[in-house]
Amino acid sequence: MTRSIPRSILFCCDQNSVRSPMAEGLMKQIYGRAAYVQSAGVRHDMEVDGFAIAVCSEIGVELLRHRARSFEEMQDWGDHLASFDLVIALSPTSERMALDMARTTSIEVEYWPIPDPVGMAEGREATLTLYRAARDEIRSRIIERFGPPAQA
């Protein structure tokens, strides 16, 4: 179901190292500056995953400079959850945290069940295949939710 693009969107997952940075990068690639877009994780104990960087690079989405951050760090830096119009959770844990943090605000929270590809395959090619599937599913969900990209 296509709906308009809100002014600000936060994508979140468990560690802000695979799915949510992919979603942030894809959203920015597809819609440019149509919205303020950020991403965060429930916790931050790792940097952006190399496989996520590789599969996004294949389609022109740059994640190499992305700095993973947690909800707590995000708020410490001034990006309070209340400043976002829409939070899209990509994991059950991040959905619970977003709903808990948003319970006293009018923020819309959506859950997109995107499987975490980390550790789900053996070997480089099998791993890349799973990461590409996650990337492509996120891209499809973004376009389904916000409509086709505007033609330049």
DSSP string, 85-151: SEEEESSHHHHHHHHHHHTTS--EEEE--PPP-TTSSSSHHHHHHHHHHHHHHHHHHHHHHH-SPPP
pTM score, two decimals?
A: 0.92
What is the pLDDT confidence band of residue 105, given thresholds at 50, 70 and 90?
A: confident
Look at the domain 8-146 and name its fold: Rossmann fold (3.40.50)
**What mean pLDDT do residues 128-143 have?**
97
With contact defined as beta carbons under 8 Å apart, do 111 and 32 qualify?
no
Tens-digit pLDDT profile for residues 1-49: 567 899 999 999 999 999 999 999 999 999 999 999 999 999 877 789 9
Tens-digit pLDDT profile for residues 37-80: 999 999 877 789 999 999 999 999 999 988 889 988 888 877 77
Sequence spans of domains, the chain: 8-146
With contact defined as beta carbons under 8 Å apart, do 13 and 91 qualify?
yes
Residue 151, pLDDT score: 60
